[in-house]
Structure 1
């Protein structure tokens, strides 16, 4: 039995993805900092018949993140699907002329070191399975940098480059790496950016396995 690991699992997109992939029979590993919130979400999913467990960790601590993913694989089955979608902190979004080299440390730890550590942890298991999916979820600054959001603009661009390199390097091994760009906020009731709609989009990306970059909505929308 294999599992999906959702890094950055919360009550919005993470919960929706857990429900969507859980309906397809996947066990769900929920990773985020708040242990109580993870426990509540796992209990909610259990009520829907989805086997889920929380694994508290901070994505800015690569060893803790890798350890949480290792435990998830041991307890829920090999991580076949990795979704990396934590929400960036507000202090990552400073105007470019006010952003120092020190201000970039957090965003880079969050959006580069974190994904690299996560992928390196789950990749051997995916290779053993002979299949896998890595889903990177980013905001619009991954594609169009914003002068008032320098940290995420720089770090998301680096995450995008890493993901694209992985996409090309792993395609021949049956491991699909893709990015979903969500411009603006996730909005309940929105035709394309409602959490449940986005979860369906991510499921389709996993199922259809074509192309690296996908857009949830128009970049100016």
Structure 2
């Protein structure tokens, strides 16, 4: 069975992406800090007939991410799809005019540093196999100005830049990398902002392996 690993798995979009790929025959590895949460999500998927297992790691501690991905490979086999979409609401978000290196660096360490650790851990196997998919997710502020999240968006924009460069660098080696920016109140009531609907966009990106990025917009104002 092919395997998808979701970094930053939660009960909303992460679970929906896992379910969407699981329904296509993928096994699922869920990675987050909270053991009880990932085990509960894995149990929910297993009850639906999807082979799933939880693993713990902290995106802010790169060694734990690398260790978790090593454990996944040892337990479940090579990772065919890596989806990276963590969030840490404990990190301070500040307006663009209030950005300092002190409040910016934690955002860079978490989002960009976490992605570099996670993607770096799976790329060697993917390149050796000549196949694999990496999908990196942030909010829409990576593309569109949202001044109230000034420091977060600097990190997100840097992550987008690196992801697009990976897309170009790895295309001829059979590894597909894409960036997803989401401008939506996920699960907020709009039909096109429901996690299950958004998750189908991830499946299409993987199946088509064409676009370098997707800006998913489901927002009224």
- Asked whether the equivalents of residues 2 and 76 of structure 1 are also in contact (C-alpha less than 8 Å), the reply is no
Specify the alignment match of 1:153 in structure 2. 153
- Asked whether the equivalents of residues 140 and 215 of structure 2 are also in contact (C-alpha less than 8 Å), the reply is no
User: What do the CA deviations read for 1:6-55 (whole angstroms, capped 9, x no partner)?
Assistant: 00100000111111111111111101111101111111111011111111
What is the CA–CA distance in structure 2 between the aligned matches of 1:57 and 1:97, rounded to whole Å? 33
- Asked whether the equivalents of residues 182 and 193 of structure 1 are also in contact (C-alpha less than 8 Å), the reply is no
Question: How many corresponding residue pairs?
Answer: 221
Matched, 1:36 2:36: yes
Deviation at 1:188, TM superposition (A): 5.0
Matched, 1:175 2:175: yes
Q: How does 1:109-148 map to 2 (within 5 A)?
A: 109-148=109-148
Determine helix, strand or coil for the equivalent of 1:60: coil
Deviation at 1:70, TM superposition (A): 1.1
User: What do the CA deviations read for 1:54-77 (whole angstroms, capped 9, x no partner)?
Assistant: 111110111110110111111111
**Which runs of no fewer than 5 residues in structure 1 stay unpaired?**
none
Superposition CA RMSD, Å: 1.6
What is the CA–CA distance in structure 2 between the aligned matches of 1:83 and 1:205, rounded to whole Å? 12
**Which runs of no fewer than 5 residues in structure 2 stay unpaired?**
none
TM-score by length of 2: 0.94
Specify the alignment match of 1:217 in structure 2. 217
Specify the alignment match of 2:56 in structure 1. 56
User: What do the CA deviations read for 1:192-221 (whole angstroms, capped 9, x no partner)?
Assistant: 221001111100000011111112216775
